[in-house]
Structure 1
Amino acid sequence: MVEAHSSVGELACPDCAAASRRVHSRYRRHLAELPVGGRRVVVRLTVRRFFCDTATCSRRTFVEQVEGLTSKYARAGPGVNVWWRAVALAVGGRPGARLCRVLAAPTGRARLFGQLHAPPVPSRSPRVLGVDDFAFRRSRTYGTIILDVEKSAVIDVLPDRTSETLAAWLRLACPDITRACDLARVFHDLVRHRRGHLLLEWIRQAEQDAPVPIRSFAGFLRHDLDPVTAGLTLTYSSGVIEGHINCCLDDQEADVRPRVVPTPPHPCPVAIVTVTRCRRPDPNSRSLIRGAGTGRNRG
């Protein structure tokens, strides 16, 4: 047992911040602390209750708090609370209570479970989510774990590994993903049922409150609104505009494509002659045969 008291002469009111010296009363608080030398430590702290003399303040009295040792309604110091939370996360309730008695920091399972409060909400939602399944009991019960990939931190654990459970979690936890899924479902309906007349309305909705990638996609669709509307309206794949462009490209390719004239077979087997855009030679021409023979003798 450690006896302690505060030696501060005056304290500020937590509401109006006015300094006060008038003491209303005193009482003792018993705070569990970290063990020393394997023995349990309890701090018996004498605290004071002060008057607030400000007439406009709604608080009439307030109790002093020792920084680093006490907090409102706490029955343990911050150090031993860290121990209890680690034990509760590692082994749970009753096993944790037995382990705490061995560590000379005894507590009950209800207090251990009270340490498992919800983690603080981050200032921004995670940009990259990791989803994987794991086994509560191998080959029997499986769950889903959701991670923040950038911070390597666990966000939530789902009781099963079905896609319906994950989709419901995403709708509640991530409004942006919910909005993106709704817009994607509507766009899929436009494409499947060829409702091109509703495309402009879809683009307007996407540009108002959609996430940035969907908004950029809607901007590209607005830039090519006529061809996309034709593709979502007509029964054949290429719309009127795109089909006309394809026909023009085919005509241009036909104009610039080189013409290949087939080489006719030559009756003389001793020479190879390539003829392009000329008349078929006379088989009885002696000059051609004589020239071919001369070339062979020279080679």
Structure 2
Amino acid sequence: MKIIPLYPLIDSDVTATSIAEDDAPEWDVGTTYDADEDVISASTHWVYRSVQTANTGNDPETDDGTWWTPVVKTAPYRPFDGVISSSVSFAGPVTMTITPRSVISALAVFNMGASCVTLEVATPVPTSGYSWYDFYFSEPDGRETFSQTVEMIDIGAHVYDYWTYFFGDLSATTTREALITGFTAFPGQEIRLTFGREGETVEIGEIKMGVPRSLGTTITGTESEIRSYTRETVDDFGGVSLLKRAPARPITFEFAFPFEREGDVLGLLTRMEGQLALFYADDDLVGRGLMTLGYYTEFRLPHEAAGVTKTALTVKAVV
């Protein structure tokens, strides 16, 4: 089992994207805005909504809420806003480049609608101070050190007989989340992402990244749940109606580790208490629903005198 403390991404880490920042017109000091009109700021990358009529000359970036209220991040930066329910949809393929400020070795995508996602790590070509050798022999787009494509359509998991082969719902074969590991991107290197292919509509929910930390080995007993919060109402004639609400998806990870690591595991989870993180059983178990973005709600550590410590960690998902 592994946990990934989340990298604190800031807007300037996103150094290139094919998504246009055109959610609304950019704010203009000389324009008068009515209530409920939207503008964007190219410096904060937020969409702001006017809360009053006759709104002239009031900068939304410095306003205290009297004239403007921030609504949502602009489309190119929405996949990093921390709001899981927000998403962007565009004609594929969608590309973006992230230049991290610290080491990154894992990246996850949630609520994604695309046939595939490709991650490349490259060292960009320097703009100055390079040798004649670099000038003649370096790759135009930088030296690539890692490349992996994850196919999001898993027909084998949903086609299991002749009926599902011919009549099954193919939309159910598309996985909505992906985890890519096995790479190392150092500060200054570029993480280049490509979502989908030509001719398809791509939806991107939330992108998270960081460095995995091992808690132990996942063992039998790990289980995931779906807890429904939908409410039922019955009228005077016995008619039933349902008020649908988002379900919760807690996962209880059962795992084991050498007893000498008890202090390390306890210390790591103490530091992560009350914080969002990525939790997953193992790289090859992500497709079985054993990866989530959330926070842990319960951890019990039975201290052992020797041998192997077996324990459980309950995580509440926010996706």
Report the TM-score range of the alignment, normalised by the length of the smaller protein.
under 0.3
Which protein is richer in helix relative to its size?
Answer: 1
- Higher strand residue share: 2
TM-score, normalization by structure 1:
0.23
TM-score between the two structures when normalised by the length of structure 2: 0.22
Higher-Rg member (1/2)? 1
